[in-house]
Amino acid sequence: PLISHRRREASSLEIVRDLAVKTRSIETPVGRLSGGNQQKVVIGRWLLRGPKVLILDEPTRGVDIGSRGEIHRLLRDLAARGMSILVISSEPDELPDLCDRVLVMAEGRIVRELTGPSITRNSIIEASYAAGDAAAAGRRIG
């Protein structure tokens, strides 16, 4: 096998421990875990590779509020340790808690940049609504 059973088991235990994956056994198929625990396993598998940058597309979509909070804590911890994280999200509620910079895009173009204290749920929603008009007009706002 490409990966020894012992190494796979050690990696699985590391993911379960470090990311607080709730499972009866490391032998439980990932597909039988809750949505939040499945997300944590996917993130954990990528982290085992030691990336410098983590790109996450809708990391909390479809997960319960408890798992959402755990994923947010994990991402904040990784960022505090120096990892660069790009989060793609259509959830304006989660971005202020996670990001120090938000780029609002429409039709493949950046139409607004928010940083620091200007990153609020309301400012993201406002920028998103304005983005459609700006993208249609082909200009950058803000």
Per the domain annotation, does 97 fall within a domain? yes
pLDDT for the residue numbered 89? 93
Instruction: Identify whether the C-beta of residue 112 lies closer than 8 Å to the C-beta of residue 103.
Output: yes
44, 15 Cβ separation under 8 angstroms: yes
Q: Is position 11 within any domain? A: no
pLDDT of the residue at 23: 82
Task: Provide the number of structural domains found in the chain.
Answer: 1
Residue 135 lies in a domain: yes
Query: Domain range spanning residue 124?
Result: 90-142
On whether residue 77 sits in a domain, the answer given is no
- Note whether residue 126 is domain-resident: yes
pLDDT of residue 123: 95
Residue 61 lies in a domain: no
Helix (H, G, I), strand (E, B) or coil at 35: helix
Q: Residue 83: inside a domain, yes or no?
A: no
Handedness of CA 25, 28, 30, 31 (dihedral sign): negative
pTM of the model: 0.74
What distance in Å separates the CA atoms of residue 18 and residue 131, rounded to the nearest whole number? 39
pLDDT in tens, the chain (142 residues): 566 777 777 777 777 777 778 888 788 888 888 888 888 888 888 887 888 999 999 999 888 888 888 889 889 999 999 999 999 999 999 999 899 999 998 888 888 999 999 999 999 999 988 877 665 665 555 5
Q: At what angle are helices 35-47 and 65-80 packed, to 10 degrees?
A: 20
